[in-house]
Structure 1
């Protein structure tokens, strides 16, 4: 089997490299994996993208790439839509034409955040900024490509909506810990809610839906799935937890948790609006994993966010990355 992964330079792309490097030696039939990053392919160039697809002939396409500069997207809408909407549409069209499996990753930013409680997959999209609009357009383009596929097509897709991703790269947790080393006090938004999601966790859960323990592709119902760990928190709650985890790991910080001050989002204006509520129900994904008898990935889905963040921070401390 050929696996083509776009976005090798990002947090999720790097997580897939680590995951597959550890997984492939255990498989009887070892897949051929090709990783594509910015240096190899400009995703805003349709010709380059189609070249990689047609050259490698993947049975599994994983799109871990995205334009994620939320504020910059407000002044670069064409580029955001090219990477987040047009490129995924071309990947989906290839998957339909060649009967391939397509995994794509989306975001809580497709919602306006005004719902009370947890969002469901079929809740109405209402993105607030260009980034969210471009990701919503990508979801719609993928869904349309498969909906208009010829009868009997073997292609299948999963769009994983997730939130607050952290991993090997720049992210909120690393920023907070860096600032906590230099400042006596931090101010962090307390009225925006979501679920921190490890890129490593997301790679494991999503690949587990599509591939079995032997390395063979699984059949699953095509559609959108929410993929986040259990629980919820605010940016303020995450900051306090990460700082305490670093202190517990022996890291010297100037800002203890009690010196982190909660503030409302209106006191920290940004160019692009953010959803106030990013909580998403994972019941749909849970039911499909149960139907597959996929208990190891179901256990991952049920893991709370806080333990994963603590492990991540301790790993950063051990590596001297804080």
Structure 2
């Protein structure tokens, strides 16, 4: 089996590259080989490689930057997924695509389900929702996996930023009124692997949109506290943390206050479940794969 993966250097793509090699030949394309803002290039690559499965792990993820460059965000997050879906359908193969909690406005008091109406607050969320809609409009066999608060041991993410800042600064103010599930890229990759294995074994659930995050939830402040506890356990210096509301830390893009996603449908349909976020974080910090 040939598996084409986009976003070579991204957190999820790197995690997939570590966990999928024995499932088939991986064709991993980064920005140097594949410009997702170039529709013709996307078609050329897929038609020349003729994969058995496409995993789109690439995205324009700079949430605040997207506000000032909506064309770039929509080209990569909205138009490109639709083209990938068209090419996958033409080949009669599945497409796995990752989306985000940012398709919701965060005003619901309970975790969001797949049937809740999206209402993104900013350009990033709008572009990701448009990508979902483009894939669904094409039809075919696809999985759109919405996740949240993704981190890993490389790249740009909250975990690595906090590990650095907690050791550099004596005092940090962290937002405490946004809640969600920190989700390790390794968890996403392992769940993706499980989904592929079920599909290969003829045990696929329904195709469509699913939520895929770690279990449990916390705030950014709570996440930072746990990262700090780990540093202290290693005998490292660690800043004092102060909880603040979102309005005390204004950003170009507004964030949803509630990013919790209900992942029970993925368990029911595909029998794939997720770990508690603290357990996954421990594995990541321990350097496990």
Q: CA RMSD in A?
A: 1.6
The Cα shift of 1:310 comes to 2.4
Q: What is residue 158 of structure 2 aligned with on the other side?
A: 172
| Distance in structure 1 (CA, Å) of the matches to 2:238 and 2:96 | 42
Q: What is residue 151 of structure 1 aligned with on the other side?
A: none
The Cα shift of 1:35 comes to 0.1
Residues 109, 127 of structure 1: 8 Å contact kept: yes
1:226 to 202, 206, 211: 211
The Cα shift of 1:218 comes to 4.9
Q: Which runs of 5+ in 2 are unaligned?
A: none
Q: What is residue 169 of structure 2 aligned with on the other side?
A: 183
Matched, 1:43 2:36: yes
Q: What is residue 260 of structure 2 aligned with on the other side?
A: 279
Matched, 1:87 2:84: no
Q: What is residue 222 of structure 2 aligned with on the other side?
A: 237
**CA separation of 1:251/1:107 partners in 2, compared to 1, >3 Å: closer, same or farther?**
farther
Structure 2 residue matching 1:211: 3-state secondary structure: helix
| Distance in structure 2 (CA, Å) of the matches to 1:217 and 1:117 | 34
Structure 1 residue matching 2:20: 3-state secondary structure: helix
Structure 1 residue matching 2:173: 3-state secondary structure: strand
Residues 77, 131 of structure 2: 8 Å contact kept: yes
Instruction: Provide, for residues 131-160 of structure 1, a one-character-per-residue CA deviation record: whole Å limited to 9, x for no partner.
Output: 0000000001101110xxxxxxxx411000
Residues 184, 254 of structure 1: 8 Å contact kept: yes
The Cα shift of 1:288 comes to 1.2
Q: What is residue 50 of structure 2 aligned with on the other side?
A: 57
Mapping 1:2-13, distance limit 5 Å: 2-13=2-13
The Cα shift of 1:313 comes to 2.5
| Distance in structure 2 (CA, Å) of the matches to 1:109 and 1:43 | 21
| Distance in structure 2 (CA, Å) of the matches to 1:94 and 1:315 | 37
The Cα shift of 1:15 comes to 0.3
The Cα shift of 1:169 comes to 1.3
| Distance in structure 1 (CA, Å) of the matches to 2:15 and 2:170 | 33
Q: Which runs of 5+ in 1 are unaligned?
A: 25-29, 147-154, 291-296, 317-322
Structure 2 residue matching 1:71: 3-state secondary structure: helix
The Cα shift of 1:268 comes to 0.1
Instruction: Provide, for residues 18-70 of structure 1, a one-character-per-residue CA deviation record: whole Å limited to 9, x for no partner.
Output: 1124xx1xxxxx62220000111110001111111001101100000000000
Question: TM-score of the superposition, structure 1-length normalised?
Answer: 0.86
**CA separation of 1:125/1:47 partners in 2, compared to 1, >3 Å: closer, same or farther?**
same
| Distance in structure 2 (CA, Å) of the matches to 1:99 and 1:202 | 24
Question: TM-score of the superposition, structure 2-length normalised?
Answer: 0.95
Residues 209, 218 of structure 1: 8 Å contact kept: no
Mapping 1:1-322, distance limit 5 Å: 1-21=1-21, 24=22, 31-146=24-139, 155-167=140-152, 168-212=154-198, 218-248=203-233, 250-255=234-239, 259-290=240-271, 297-298=272-273, 301=274, 303-315=275-287
| Distance in structure 2 (CA, Å) of the matches to 1:280 and 1:246 | 29
| Distance in structure 2 (CA, Å) of the matches to 1:101 and 1:218 | 14
